[in-house]
Homo-oligomer: A and B are copies of this chain.
Amino acid sequence: MRTEPPTRRTQAARREATCAKVLGATIECLAELGYFGTSIAAICERAGVSQGALFRHYPTRRDVIVAAAEAIGRHHLESFAAADLDLRRDGYRRFVELIRGICRSPTHAAWREIMIAARTDDGLREAASAGLGRFEAAILELCARSLGLGEAAAQPAAVILLSVMHMFDSEAVTVVVYGNAAIEARRIEWATGMLERELGVLGN
């Protein structure tokens, strides 16, 4: 399995394969090494691809990052679709655990690294905001679907659910830097109850 026999593959397939390896490695690097540490060399080493190969498919480092943001955005959409959550059927505990799990995942760490970099990098921001926004879009869609409301009527709920997402997104960073297990345990309890109280009213 080390060097597979020279299987005959179409050019498109070869291209897609190395692009996938590059994007996967980029997401891993962002999660483990941060935006700063995600160098072309680090990406290529992890992907098992030469730098020349990478630059054949992506003209600049920024384009690699932007493509990774797109991939992460799609991944987030799929995660929510796969969870197939119905807030009224499942209750809010599952939602809270789902959001917290996603926020603490490596993929989301990569998403966050790009978000933070985009704040101070105008070009990256313009190029990547669509892909990054898909995480927000995923939750908005979840609201409409899960509550069986139109987009306008779902907005009050969306504000609340997005706020919970922001809460766990920011918490996930502090967990690593100066974790406070007692507070985190209380938070997940409180968030569940709070959603029941705040969204229960809307559910009528």
Q: A178-B129, A190-B160 are in contact. Are A34 and B119 (CB under 8 A)?
A: yes
Q: Does A120 contact B (CB under 8 A)?
A: yes
Give Cα A183–Cα B31 distance, bound, in whole angstroms: 29
* Contact pick for A190, options B112, B113, B163, CB 8 Å: B163
Report the minimal beta-carbon distance from A69 to chain B, rounded to whole angstroms: 11
Are A159 and B177 interface neighbours, CB within 8 A? no
**What copy number does this chain have within its complex?**
2
* Residues of chain A from 126 to 176 with CB closer than 8 A to chain B in the complex: 129, 132-133, 136, 155-156, 158-160, 162-171, 173-174, 176
Q: Does A92 contact B (CB under 8 A)?
A: no
Q: Does A53 contact B (CB under 8 A)?
A: no
Are B178 and A133 interface neighbours, CB within 8 A? yes
Contacts of A117 on B, CB cut-off 8 Å?
34, 36
Question: Can you list 28 A-B contacts (CB < 8 A)?
Answer: A32-B120, A34-B116, A34-B117, A35-B36, A36-B120, A37-B120, A113-B116, A115-B173, A115-B174, A129-B177, A136-B174, A136-B178, A136-B180, A155-B183, A156-B190, A159-B187, A163-B171, A163-B187, A163-B190, A163-B191, A166-B166, A166-B167, A166-B169, A166-B171, A166-B174, A169-B170, A190-B198, A197-B197
